[in-house]
Structure 1
Amino acid sequence: MTRRVTITDVARAADVSVSTVSKVINGRYGVAQSTSTRVQQVIQELGYESSLVARSLRSHRTHVIGILVAEFEPFSTEILKGAAAAVSDAGYELLAYTGATVSGGAGWERRYLSRLSGTLIDGAVLVTPSVVDVDAQIPVVAVDPHTGPSGFPTVDSDNLTGARLATEHLIGLGHRRIAFLAGRPDLESSHLRETGYRDALAAAGLPVDESLIRVGDYRSEAARAPMSELLGLADRPTAVFAANDISAIAAMEVARAAGLRVPEDLSVVGFDDVPEAAGATPPLTTVRQPIQRLGAEAVTLLLALLNGDRPATTHVRLDTTLVRRGSTAQPG
């Protein structure tokens, strides 16, 4: 077994005292630049890593941000990429946690934040949180917030406008029977996307047929049964707007299994523009939200709170745009 490099090993190799190495690691004054450079070189050469817990006990800060996601699916993975880049630029480290599938159900964030706060992380980003009543004792920022009044600083996209663009695109192609596969009922994004869908129909003078609205829950498996129900209607839809790309891709797969062609027999629009959208068969028309930037903006907002700054706003909303690909066409 390889022996772990200690701070004493670094001090001996750099020919300095342990206290000098400690000052360099913690960024304290009183060390000559040439000595600091030599110590840092030895640290890199030996691969020394100081204990996060020990550092937190000394400074009451770990310089680590936690990001909590329900599961590592395409949307949260893109969020993580953006957050990781922003954290690295700021000299922090990022620890990602997932616990919904293990801990079970709503409220898993409470348990994780209780364990992590104060010793392992300085602040946290919650991605699509399942609850609003979280007493974290540390700064928290939510991405794609819950419907309730949590009081958290939040980062999201313009879901309302994006949903309008998606529905208007289908209306412009000539579709009149347009179904909607809604997202998670507890998330504000899902409500806004349904509102945008309804608003676009109303603006075009089209009635809202409640039988064409089903819940897909933002998950592939959850979207399949309601999609089959929609296709089984006597007067089935000629187009479907799914509240996220994963549901939209599932909808296309269900349509193909039912013997329908996309887009000749059924047009499909998604929301998010995750990498899987462009690689779908056919490539998915979707509403693009800057997902990686959502993660980066959440970290930027959290760092401002950690530094004691007063951000200009505690609610960051990013623009959305329609991306036309091969999954939509005029009704046959």
Structure 2
Amino acid sequence: MTTDVDRLRRRGPAIGATRVTIVDVARVAGVSVSTVSKVINDRYGVAPQTHDRVMDVVERLGYETSLVASSLRRTSTNVIGILIPEFEPFSTELLKGISSAAEGTGYELLAYSGNLGHDQVGWERRSLSRLAGTLIDGAVVVAPTATVTDAPIPVVAVDPHTGRTGPSTIEADNVGGARAATQHLIDLGHRRIAHVRGREDLVSASLREQGYREALEAAGIPFDPDLVRVGGYRAAETTDAARELLTLPEPPTAVFSANDLSAIRVLEIAGELGLRVPEDLSVVGFDNVPESANAVPALTTVAQPLHEMGAEAVRILLGLLGGEPVEEHLHLPATLVVRASTAPPAR
């Protein structure tokens, strides 16, 4: 015997709000549409056995309410937006920490990139204007290019381009981490240490170069601008920078890159030029994304606590949503992770 549930299931595997309606749920459960509405919105006035029967049908049919429609009724969505300029190893690791921290809070996550592109300044403002109010209650914005001071919803910025300004921010110790990376190379005996820096418009890149310079100065090693090139935090943009540095008349014996992706590209270019790492060249990165441990050789790097940064972003945002006092600017430690890509210089 074919039932209503069987017929609805045959509509297709992707049954959702556009395929199974609240009317379908009411008909199968043998109740009114208003009763189904009360059940799915947790309103009083429904007998326990009726509530259980409706929820059983909802689960069997795979019916899902519209977040937008629900938000219009409740004036909130119970959704946190995660705004990311692009999905790459750094943001992916942050997302893992965000997801873990959001479990059991009653909030869902909406990760949004909107085809933002690498160089679109102000992308976070445009994205917040699209999502705020009807889709999300608050947002974690990763690496915003501008200070979000006029957002209509609570916002926490992770690794902001503009530093500690505007809304609550979370960042790792960029200066201390870069200083530790450079000091590690100095302690190994390197004196000609190059730096592949990040994007020139980012505060984090400037802070990491600052840490590099501070370590050189403390060791009495003169800063040489010829040993600094912009890699832009991207592997493709690091190619020319690495070739220029490694083919200098007096090439460096070590390279500190401002992130792991550019450091891994330095490893690749060194191999193409016939250089052995770490025998001929030592390389250090920054971030400690999973790719760094899988590089050949395994990359010495500075670990940002990416999972913790994501989790703290959720904690602070929930505090803001609840009207609680929170830290304005959270500064977390960065630690050196020594692997196989560094050794004393051969010359």
Map of 1:113 onto structure 2: 128
Map of 1:75 onto structure 2: 90
Q: Return the match for 1:136 from 142, 151, 158.
A: 151
Cα deviation, residue 68, structure 1: 1.5
Q: Return the match for 1:257 from 255, 260, 272.
A: 272
Cα deviation, residue 169, structure 1: 0.7
Tell me, yes or no, if structure 1 residue 27 matches structure 2 residue 46: no
- Seq. identity, %: 62
Cα deviation, residue 35, structure 1: 4.6
Structure 1 stretch displaced more, 195-204 or 281-290? 195-204
Tell me, yes or no, if structure 1 residue 241 matches structure 2 residue 256: yes
Map of 2:332 onto structure 1: 318
Q: Return the match for 1:216 from 210, 221, 231.
A: 231
Cα deviation, residue 277, structure 1: 0.5
Distance in 2, Cα, partners of 1:35 & 1:307:
33
Q: Is the 8 A contact 1:128 1:187 kept in 2?
A: no
Q: Is the 8 A contact 2:36 2:54 kept in 1?
A: yes
Cα deviation, residue 130, structure 1: 1.7
Moved over 6 A (4+): none
SS of corresponding position for 1:298: helix
Distance in 2, Cα, partners of 1:103 & 1:210:
26
Q: If the length of structure 2 is used for normalisation, what is the TM-score?
A: 0.89
Q: Is the 8 A contact 1:70 1:127 kept in 2?
A: yes
Cα deviation, residue 89, structure 1: 2.7
Structure 1 stretch displaced more, 72-81 or 124-133? 124-133
Residue correspondence of structure 1 range 65-104 to structure 2 within 5 A: 65-99=80-114, 101=116
- Provide closer, same or farther for how the CA distance between residues 89 and 318 of structure 1 changes in structure 2, counting only shifts above 3 A: farther
Map of 1:52 onto structure 2: 67
What do the CA deviations read for 1:208-228 (whole angstroms, capped 9, x no partner)?
112112211111111111111
- Provide closer, same or farther for how the CA distance between residues 103 and 114 of structure 1 changes in structure 2, counting only shifts above 3 A: farther
| Count of residue pairs brought into register by the alignment | 331
Q: Return the match for 1:304 from 306, 309, 319.
A: 319
Q: Is the 8 A contact 1:132 1:149 kept in 2?
A: no
Structure 2 gap ranges (5+): 1-10
What do the CA deviations read for 1:28-48 (whole angstroms, capped 9, x no partner)?
344455554443333222211
Tell me, yes or no, if structure 1 residue 293 matches structure 2 residue 308: yes
Residue correspondence of structure 1 range 154-303 to structure 2 within 5 A: 154-303=169-318
Q: If the length of structure 1 is used for normalisation, what is the TM-score?
A: 0.93
- Provide closer, same or farther for how the CA distance between residues 34 and 310 of structure 1 changes in structure 2, counting only shifts above 3 A: farther
Distance in 2, Cα, partners of 1:180 & 1:107:
29
SS of corresponding position for 1:270: strand
Cα deviation, residue 292, structure 1: 2.0
What do the CA deviations read for 1:53-107 (whole angstroms, capped 9, x no partner)?
1101101111112111121111111112222222233121211222455596212
- Provide closer, same or farther for how the CA distance between residues 151 and 101 of structure 1 changes in structure 2, counting only shifts above 3 A: closer
Distance in 2, Cα, partners of 1:285 & 1:294:
21
User: Given residue 10 of structure 1, which amino acid in structure 2 is its aligned partner?
Assistant: V
Cα deviation, residue 120, structure 1: 1.3
Cα deviation, residue 7, structure 1: 2.2
Structure 1 gap ranges (5+): none
What do the CA deviations read for 1:112-134 (whole angstroms, capped 9, x no partner)?
22111111111111111122256
User: Given residue 72 of structure 2, which amino acid in structure 1 is its aligned partner?
Assistant: L
Q: Is the 8 A contact 1:181 1:213 kept in 2?
A: yes
SS of corresponding position for 2:103: helix
Q: Is the 8 A contact 1:100 1:108 kept in 2?
A: no
Q: Is the 8 A contact 2:159 2:171 kept in 1?
A: yes
Distance in 2, Cα, partners of 1:134 & 1:55:
28
User: Given residue 236 of structure 1, which amino acid in structure 2 is its aligned partner?
Assistant: P
What do the CA deviations read for 1:256-282 (whole angstroms, capped 9, x no partner)?
111111111100000111110011010
Distance in 2, Cα, partners of 1:165 & 1:35:
63
Tell me, yes or no, if structure 1 residue 63 matches structure 2 residue 62: no
Distance in 2, Cα, partners of 1:197 & 1:98:
32
What do the CA deviations read for 1:282-326 (whole angstroms, capped 9, x no partner)?
010011112122122112211211122221x12222222111111
Distance in 1, Cα, partners of 2:115 & 2:156:
18
SS of corresponding position for 1:89: coil
